[in-house]
Structure 1
Amino acid sequence: MAAVAPRRTERALEPPRSARVPMGPTRKPNVCLRLSRRALGFYARDAGVGQRMNLGILRELVCQESTTFKNVWTTHSKTPIAYERGRIYFNNYRCCVSSVATEPRKLYEMPKCPRSEKIEDALLWECPVVRFVFRAFVSKNKVCLHFFERYLSWDTPQEVIAVKSAQNKSPAGARQAGIQQSVLLYLAVFHVLPFSLIGILEINKRIFGNVTDATLSHGILIVMYSSGLVRLYSFQAITEQFMQQKLDLGCACRWGGTTGTVGEAPFGIPCNIKITDVPPLLFEVSSLENAFQIGGHPWHYIITPNKKKQKGVFHICALKDNSLAKNGIQEMECCSLESDWIYFHPDASGRIVHVGPNQVKILKLSEIENNSSQHQISEDFVIWANRENKNKNLVTVTASGRIVKKKVNLLDDDPEQETFKIVDYEDELDLLSVVAVTQIDAEGKAHLDFHCNEYGTLLKSIPLVESWDVTYSHEVYFDRDLVLHIEQKPNRVFSLYVYQMICDPGEEEEEAEAEEEILNRTCSKE
């Protein structure tokens, strides 16, 4: 493999290990006291407090020293494996297995589809009472829509679904004759509850220009171009201006001289939103590879300047006036083959997560003192990989026999050094989970670290027993008391490793008597 030239070869020395992670409060909440107070009904009349208290107890159990995570189940599959909220899906979401029990248990398995049908994508919708999995089917004989459904996504989470078609491509003969397909793709939008059609619109190059892709998110139509340009339009405004006819699923409809039932073959669902003119533009920006994110408080966006040499450089700007935040140019001083990545923190704090091979930076967005209209970026805390400063000596011998030694700096993602591969956030336990990998001899070893989301303090480290090949595709999920590792090997072989939390009762039993005595004294005083 040819090495990619690094952006920079010089960087400041890393701080010593002991000074790398900021320390937060050291007082450990008492699990036994919390359980006893809960049993006495201390939180019965406070809505939500009981649930938060339960999750706080679980967090303490997860992070205590005596707790371990055991590999309880391993399986392999020739089809993709997916995980969603305690359920594992096999065979393109046809087979559902519960991961909550001690041993995974099959919940259901759908009958096989005819050869004329296959599942392209799936989306999970759930409420406190019931849970559904929406599936996008492609069928040769029974077509619901007038296009091949290929992708499912949330427009508004748990409320509105967007179904995206495959992109239309002109036949080879038409392309040779210079005939271009004007319609790039279709978007069908549905309300979830009750399940109803909002509308289907086409993305037409005659209206939007030489567009390469489009999608819906949070009521915004996002259109992307090969030049790196990203344009945003209001889907509500488009619907109000260009909807030709309101359609109801399952109802009779006359369209284009043909009468049929909306949503049933062969009539399907007509394209009832025809954009005949360029809609009002909300926002546009140019970014390398169309990379564009919005978040923060107040709204800011992150882009990479639209030049290849700027890859790995991120600009954080205010959405209202495009002004660059103070210290808003973030570039990690790393020398690596793989680029670092950045995103808004999913905990809704408005912070930003910047991940490199040897460090995870948590950045905060705040107002500049005496200037509330402008904001600045500053470090909240940094998580460093556990490394030693190793420099290899390149030894050469000249023609005269003189030995010349030259120091060579290793890459920051050198496989023999601990390298960060995955960073995620467990929202219920308020923990950052970080996967770090080190190549030992011929195989890689990984461990999953739990860090305090507020201070960055390392609370727990879990070794993964299976080897980690950095050339494979990996997904790691941490969900309450579960850890799942999904690995995709060559020839579409998928492997699943399930870990469950196991508490050592010894330590808790020793503390129980002392805590019960403290609780009795507390109750007697009250």
Structure 2
Amino acid sequence: MKQQIRDENVLHALIRREYYPKNSLRKNLQILKTLVCRGNYEFRKVWEQSSKQLICCESNTIFLDNYRTAYSGYGLHNGAPVPKFSISQDKLPRKIVDAVLSRSKPTTIHKSGQWTGKPGNKMYAITSSSLLVVDLNTGRVGFEILLLLSDVINFKHINWLQTEESIVLSTTLCPRLPPRQRRPPAQGPSNLVKVLAVFTTLPITFVCMFEVTRKVFGADVTDVMMCQGLLAVMHQSRHVRLYDFKHMLAKYKVEPLALRNSRYGDSAPLNINMKITELPRCLFVTRCEEWNVQIGGHPWHYLTSPVGSKGYFSVHSLCSGDVAKDGSMESDSDSIEFDRAVFHADDSSRIIHIGPEAVRVFWLKETDEDGGSVLLPAFTINLQYPRLQAVGPLMPIVTSSGRQVKRRFSMDEITGANMCTTIHEVDYEDELDVLMVCYTVHQPNALQGTLGIYDNLTGGLLKSVKLDEPWSDYLEHTVILDKDTIIHIIKSTNGKFLCQVYRLFERCHDNKPSARPKPGGRFEDELDFDFSAPENPRVRTSHRRQLAALASRRRQRPR
């Protein structure tokens, strides 16, 4: 059942916007939401591209060939994306492994005079040994910083440490060698976990580069990452520990290093200027399955899965560590796919629990009795479809002589016979204030992809969009809804990527006959009925009246 949103005439809303221009952006988005969800419009596929290399999308820009080719998501020709830039192999011989985009406001980026850094959109990309600053409008590599020269350690990931303020670069994970193998030198792969580098973006400034070693943080350290000014260290015992990065920077930074005043192609790499010699003070520690810890809500809570209970989630208070009342979420189906749970992206202190065939949203509210918290259900989006028939009978076969023939059953027959829906992604579109759910229905002959747009407050269905599913086997589904554009990226099991772009168009009624008579046309073309319609007394009477009216008009025409 579709959700009935406010019945507001778009023309009247545009007229009121002219008289009262305050909050024009919010009004424009409300008008666009009305057109997307209720108007005489539909999404059509306008562009499709496949590649054996990475395809990704960020901030309305589609990247192909490992970030070398970029397409703008808003094209004027039939709504298809248009080429934005392409970096040739001669200008950049090294492979780009990861990148983030910056939509900075006009400001002075660099004061050295060598590279002014004109205001605009930029992409911070990394290769195995360098950091690149690329202009998103032209594709020109304006700045390159050589990070580290090593045959063993390569940089692979780049993320925001603070959005639009600072970035963090991390290397590949250095595995721990068995004790029987020959040990490398000190600080080698057996002791080193990762190397991290931090830069500020406005202007581009080198902050520090440091090593995370097992000698300091523990012999069972498996991985490390940084986010929101915190250093998260993951241990083999399923413990996750958080450390304050600012405290570490003030205590262990050896010397500040400035970037060289040179252009593209600087041959001098940066050095490690921060050495952690002792274990810093731990801010938070917990033990959970797959090191999955999420912090959010008002007041602050954290969401984890207990060890040995994958797919089961519990909500704890960050201050006291107590479990919230009714704060346990578990799956109520026998699917082989594990459940997921995340905090809602609109900062409304809600939690989204994603099951195999349903999406449940909970309110996290503070109680007045003892100052604790309670988890209350808000709404449920049920995507359960009629069950498919099982492949073969599940009961033993009995022959004519009365002998029972037993056969083996696979896990797909036991669980897959009851599951015909797979939820790939649940995301929040902040500009339209809607919740979108991308799922696939397993039909007998093919797969049917669907993008459901739901109301963010009530969970009612606003619009359903059919998506093409070219492959029966897939690994990842990524769907991005940006105003009137849908970008669908699929990764197959053989590593091939496919990108599809859908745009919003007015729904055409080409199959309906025209109500206006055609001048000079045939006699049948002037009639507003189908001659191939089945015989019906009422239909015949209507046809006679139309024939009589048409003959009368023809007699009155001047000769």
TM-score by length of 1: 0.81
The answer to whether 1:57 aligns with 2:31 is yes
1:23-38 aligned at under 5 Å gives the runs 26-38=5-17
Among 157, 180, 195, the alignment partner of 1:186 is 195
- Per-residue deviation at 1:474? 2.0
Q: 1:409 to 1:226 in 2, by over 3 A?
A: closer
Structure 2 CA distance for aligned equivalents of residues 113 and 481 of structure 1? 37
Partner of 2:396: 396
Q: Is the 8 A contact 1:446 1:468 kept in 2?
A: no
In structure 1, C-alpha distance between the alignment counterparts of 2:303 and 2:73, rounded to whole Å: 37
1:174-213 deviation per Cα after TM superposition (whole angstroms, max 9, x unaligned):
8613566222111100111011011111101111012111
2:118 equivalent to 1:112: no
Q: 1:485 aligns with which of 471, 480, 488?
A: 488
CA distance in 2, matches of 1:75, 1:389: 34
Deviations 1:241-284 (A, max 9, x none): 11111121126xxxxxxxxx999855411111111111111010
2:227 counterpart residue number: 217
Deviation for aligned residue 1:441? 2.4
What's 2:552 paired with? none
64-73 or 143-152: bigger deviation: 143-152
Unaligned runs of 5+ in 2: 107-119, 131-143, 406-410, 510-559
Cross-structure match for 1:287? 288
Q: Which amino acid aligns with 2:295?
A: I
Aligned equivalent of 1:165: 171
Deviation at 1:466, TM superposition (A): 3.7
Shift of the alpha carbon at 1:387?
2.1
Distance 1:386 1:336, change over 3 A: closer
Task: Report SS of the residue matched to 2:335.
Answer: coil
Deviation at 1:419, TM superposition (A): 3.2
User: In structure 2, which of residues 144, 147, 155 is the aligned counterpart of residue 145 of structure 1?
Assistant: 147
Instruction: Work out the CA distance in 2 between the residues paired with 1:395 and 1:276.
Output: 65
Counterpart-to-counterpart distance in 1, 2:73 and 2:43: 14
Counterpart of 1:360 in structure 2: which amino acid? Answer: V
5 Å-filtered alignment, 1:89-488, equals 89-101=63-75, 102-113=79-90, 117-128=94-105, 130-139=120-129, 144-146=146-148, 147-169=153-175, 176-177=181-182, 181-210=190-219, 211-250=221-260, 266-307=267-308, 310-371=309-370, 373-388=371-386, 394-397=394-397, 401=402, 414=417, 417-467=420-470, 469-488=472-491
CA offset at residue 490 of structure 1?
Answer: 4.3
Post-superposition offset of 1:27 = 3.2
Q: What amino acid is aligned across from residue 503 of structure 1 in structure 2?
A: E
Residue 390 of structure 1 and its aligned partner are, at CA, apart by 7.0
SS at match of 1:119: coil
Q: How many Å apart are 1:484 and its aligned residue?
A: 1.3
Is the deviation greater in 391-400 or in 479-488?
A: 391-400
CA distance in 2, matches of 1:365, 1:220: 24
Q: Comparing 352-361 with 473-482, which one deviates more in the overlay?
A: 473-482
* Residue aligned with 2:128, SS: strand
Alignment partners' CA distance in 1, 2:56 and 2:70: 10
Deviation at 1:38, TM superposition (A): 1.6
Determine which structure has greater relative contact order: mean sequence separation of CA pairs < 8 Å that are 6+ residues apart, divided by chain length: 1
Task: Say whether the 8 Å CA contact 1:233–1:281 is kept in structure 2.
Answer: yes
Q: Would the aligned equivalents of 1:391 and 1:410 in 2 still touch at CA under 8 Å?
A: no
> Do the aligned partners of 2:389 and 2:417 also contact (CA within 8 Å) in 1?
no
Query: Match of 1:481, as an amino acid?
Result: D
Q: Hey, what does 2:49 align to over in structure 1? A: 75
How far did residue 442 of structure 1 move?
2.9
Residue type matched to 2:103 in 1?
Answer: E
Partner SS for 2:477: strand
Is the contact made by 1:358 and 1:413 (CA closer than 8 Å) also made in structure 2?
no
1:339 to partner: Cα distance: 0.5
After TM superposition, give the deviation of residue 60 of structure 1 in Å: 0.6
For residues 401 and 65 of structure 1, do their structure 2 counterparts lie closer, same or farther at Cα, with a shift above 3 Å needed? farther
**TM-score, structure 2 length as denominator?**
0.77
Superposed, 1:35-54 pairs within 5 Å as 35-40=14-19, 42-43=20-21, 46=22, 49-54=23-28
**CA separation of 1:461 and 1:320: change in aligned 2, threshold 3 A:** same
- 1:112: how far off? 1.2
C-alpha separation in 2, matches of 1:300 and 1:243: 32
Q: How far has the Cα of 1:115 moved from its partner?
A: 8.6
- Give the direction of change, closer, same or farther, for the CA distance of 1:113–1:304 in structure 2 (3 Å limit): farther
Q: Structure 2: how far apart are the matches of 1:221 and 1:440?
A: 45
Aligned equivalents of 2:330, 2:129: Cα separation in 1: 47
Q: How many residues align?
A: 464
CA RMSD of aligned residues (A): 3.0
Q: 1:366 to 1:50 in 2, by over 3 A?
A: same
2:298/2:349 contact within 8 Å kept: yes
What is the CA deviation profile of residues 142-196 of structure 1, one whole-angstrom value per residue up to 9, with x for unaligned ones?
9811252211001111111000012234778x86135662221111001110110
Q: Given residue 456 of structure 1, which amino acid in structure 2 is its aligned partner?
A: G
Q: Which deviates the most, 381-390 or 288-297?
A: 381-390
Identical-pair percentage: 31
* Distance in 1 (alpha carbons) for counterparts of 2:282 and 2:160: 22
Cα-to-partner distance string for 1:105-152 (whole Å, 9 max, x where unaligned) = 111111215796221111111135521111102259x98112522110
Distance in 2 of aligned mates of 1:279 and 1:79: 41
Letter paired with 1:241: K
- 8 Å Cα contact 2:62-2:73 kept in structure 1: yes
Q: 1:145–1:263: 8 Å Cα contact kept in structure 2?
A: no
SS of corresponding position for 1:118: coil
Is the 8 Å Cα contact of residues 195 and 210 (structure 2) preserved in structure 1? Answer: yes
Change (3 A) 1:110 1:409: closer
The answer to whether the 8 Å contact 1:248/1:262 transfers is no
- Contact conserved, 2:71 with 2:84, CA < 8 A, in 1? yes
Please say which structure displays the higher CA radius of gyration. Answer: 2
